[in-house]
Structure 1
Amino acid sequence: MDVTANPILNRLSDAEFLWANRRQEGAFLMVLVAVAAAGRLAHPEIRGDRANFVAFMKDSHDWTINVEYRGEQVDLDHLFYKWMRCELVHNGGLPVDLQINESFADPRSCAVRAGGAPDYTVLVSPGWYWFLAEYVRSTVER
């Protein structure tokens, strides 16, 4: 498929460029935009950005991961939508207590760690970027 003919694949190309240039938040944002757009294609019957995004994310896996964030148990799909995608779009950056962190043993693994005192920061491994990009690509290129 010609990448330039598909706007979702264009967002993935933008993400790859940003990632290669160490602009992780921008790369994550472009991948999350691609997730939202692919979700619209996969589930046109679902109304609402969040519901559509979460439904598409749930298509990618058969597990549920909850993490404590700001005193509540938050499903990881919701964390990606509200606390990553929405924060990047509406505020221009991630919240101070949520970080893409390269300290995980395997940077390609999908991991999340809720930190305790004093910072109470949730750490998301870079592997989620790769997981999401590959999942979107596989659904769009079918």
Structure 2
Amino acid sequence: MSVRDRQQDAAVLWQSGRQDGALLSLLVAVAATSRKRYPRSLESSDRKAFTKFLHDEMLVLTGGAVENFNIHVSQASPKHYPDGFMPMEDVFYEFIRCALAHEGKLPDHVRFFEKEGVGWSLDVDEQAVRLTTSFIELLSNVVVYAPENLSEFPENIEKPDDVIGWELFGKRRDAHKEYLAKRRARVVEFNSTDS
């Protein structure tokens, strides 16, 4: 079993209409990738490794739209989020990843929806967190293009940064040269520690 297996399982589950299963499989791949980037020697908490990794990759997760994303969540812990605003990566960990992993299903207030002409959208109100169905593809990109997973996705090894930028961000790629430079540094760093 590998990260690539989890990503491919997610694609099969999604095509079969099994959205929760696809999301769970991808979140397992995200968790495994987060531990490659933040091993226990650097970060002892699984939650922190997961949320730090998603924060690092928020541009990929939002298709290049947003780097820091805080949303108001009525169920947010007043102790940790006194204003009710949570970073998006914390929402994914607490309300999506934990619910799927520990309860076996998405909470009733987390739903997928179709939205024509939009690459990615998130709607939040007092009743629900709604994600566009294209979110699964973007979450998959987080896993597929992570430098830590290049050995599992060798088709990405020789791709130039501008091609990676186009595949991740499309027409927005020029606005994300800093992200691509950081990604390149991670590729070099990971390859030097991996050999």
| 2:21 corresponds to which of 20, 26, 29 | 26
Amino acid aligned to 1:51:
K
Name the residue aligned to 1:42: 37
The answer to whether residue 102 in structure 2 is matched with residue 101 in structure 1 is no
Distance 1:46 1:106, change over 3 A: farther
The answer to whether residue 138 in structure 2 is matched with residue 128 in structure 1 is no
How many residues align? The count is 132
Name the residue aligned to 1:114: 124
State how far apart, in whole Å, the 1-side matches of 2:97 and 2:132 are. 16
The answer to whether residue 17 in structure 2 is matched with residue 11 in structure 1 is no
Q: Structure 1 vs Structure 2: percent identity of aligned residues?
A: 28
Amino acid aligned to 2:72:
E
The answer to whether residue 65 in structure 2 is matched with residue 55 in structure 1 is no
State how far apart, in whole Å, the 2-side matches of 1:89 and 1:96 are. 15
Amino acid aligned to 1:57:
L
SS of 2:145 mapped into structure 1 = helix
SS of 1:74 mapped into structure 2 = strand
Q: Is the 8 A contact 2:24 2:97 kept in 1?
A: yes
Amino acid aligned to 2:109:
D
SS of 1:52 mapped into structure 2 = helix
Tell me the CA shift for residue 123 of structure 1.
Answer: 0.7
Amino acid aligned to 1:58:
H
Moved over 3 A (4+): none
SS of 1:135 mapped into structure 2 = helix
Task: Decide which structure has the larger Cα Rg and report it.
Answer: 2
Consecutive unaligned residues of structure 1, counting only runs of 5 or more, are 1-5
SS of 2:108 mapped into structure 1 = coil
Consecutive unaligned residues of structure 2, counting only runs of 5 or more, are 60-66, 76-83, 151-156, 158-195
Q: Is the 8 A contact 2:13 2:22 kept in 1?
A: yes
Name the residue aligned to 1:78: 90
Q: Is the 8 A contact 2:73 2:125 kept in 1?
A: no
State how far apart, in whole Å, the 1-side matches of 2:56 and 2:129 are. 24
SS of 1:82 mapped into structure 2 = helix
Name the residue aligned to 1:3: none
